[in-house]
Structure 1
Amino acid sequence: MNLHDRGVIAPGKKADFLLIDNLKNLHITQTFIDGKEVYNINSEAKYIPTDYKFPEEFYQSVRVEKINEDIFQIPVNNKENEVNCRIIKVIDGSTRTTEIIEKLNVKNGYLDWENSLYMLITVFERHGKNGNIGFGLVTGDCIKNGAIATTYAHDHHNLMVIGKNIKDMTKAINRIIELQGGICCVENEEILAEVPLPVAGILSEKTVQELGKEVEILREKMSQLGYKHYNPIMSLCTLSLPVSPALKITDKGLIDVNQGKIVNLIVD
């Protein structure tokens, strides 16, 4: 990656290194970043405070206005009572998905996804570039109730929400906008768990212990909503990864990864 300023302890190189007390179990006693000690096992505080702060704009990276429920109404342009739809099928044990085609009803000119067996997934461009919104449907080893919203969405890290009903999706996504990034789990319009990630929408400044507790609760609540994946957070956050087969989603819509092209939600 042409990072020639690191990779060796030598003059002129980046002074990031650890000290250990033995070579068998790699017990860390001190940590240095840029030549400054940031951890010392013998210090009462252990973690040495730092005055580093990210630039202020890093904390204002979700450039999306709060949304209303109407945004999740998907118009159908033909006069049919039902249409064939592409659906992302989540599979436990993998970040890969499969594509299935199923019929969904049309009601008053809109896709009646709330009364179907499937969840809606939506990606909002959140970096203030173009305002794109992509729509898809999801099934398989994922949630069956409620909603989850996240800005931790590989690799574009836009604002993504998956849910079984409009009210929970609206609650979850607006909470993430308030937090300026993170992951939020909602059921019956109640926030069950959240992991704030305020730095660029993908990083936390809390301690590992604090963040670990938040993640533990989030995983529990995702399972409560029906997620069956061995790693539900990774599964959720790679539904937007358009280099991993077979059907994924971005703010541009559904992506057929194997063909390398954008495809329609509704199949003609």
Structure 2
Amino acid sequence: MKNQLFTPSVTPPEQQTVALWFVFRRDRLLVLEQDQDIRVPRWQTFSESGLPMIRQHFLGTWGKHPCYSVETVEQGNPPTGFNFISLRALTLELSHDLFTLAGRAIQILQWDRDHQFCGRCGHAMQALPTERAKRCPSCALVSYPRISPAVIMRITRGDEILLSRSAHFAPDMYSVQAGFVEAGETLEETVIREVQEEVGIQVDNLHYFGSQPWPFPHSLMIAFTADYVSGEITLDQDELEDAQWFQATARLPKLPSPMSIARHLIEDFLAEHR
């Protein structure tokens, strides 16, 4: 799931050219809706937008285009033809590369907004010129963009796959299990613990599947496959509304976005059994 065209950097080009601008109002991205296609703005400078800027970061280069992330104020109308749309709502609308870049952009903006001051001594932080980091000039604490590792696992029992739904999912949607890594845990230990806690079963034969950055919020999803060993489904009612075994040949419930690694795990299972 690698973005083949993108080269990250913190140093913008000396000569200003037409760039891609990922402009956010909190979690809403500025996009152009044109001929049933959704695009991000392409301007030479942000001033062409007519919007005020709170903060800006150079992201790197996508193909030949420099890329910038910008946070703007809540007030004011967007440029003609543009709208601010929730990034989550755009998972089915943007290409994989653009969605990944937009996810990178919003995470860097959130990190900048949340780390204006040192968490140790309260002094104003200063951006470092050669890396994506901030340093406190008073106590030398260095802050990097936050990344929260989480495991996501496909559990199978022969030709059956375990799918569950959380209360915060879209209506009728089911997915594979997932959970955040705790301090001091290995990824494998997290898989075993999360499965036991959420659905009360034991698994083994863990295999790495892949990974995906996921900006809801600042997560790095590390995917595994695992085999059922024993136990009956016992739900953690605080985490899940339902969990069921589904046969590969049966009609499945509504599934996560094709953009997500959760969907890739499920589609890979279906391809093996159909």
TM-score (structure 1 length as normaliser): 0.22
**Larger RCO, structures 1/2 (Cα 8 Å, 6+ apart):** 1
TM-score (structure 2 length as normaliser): 0.22
Q: Which has the higher strand share?
A: 2
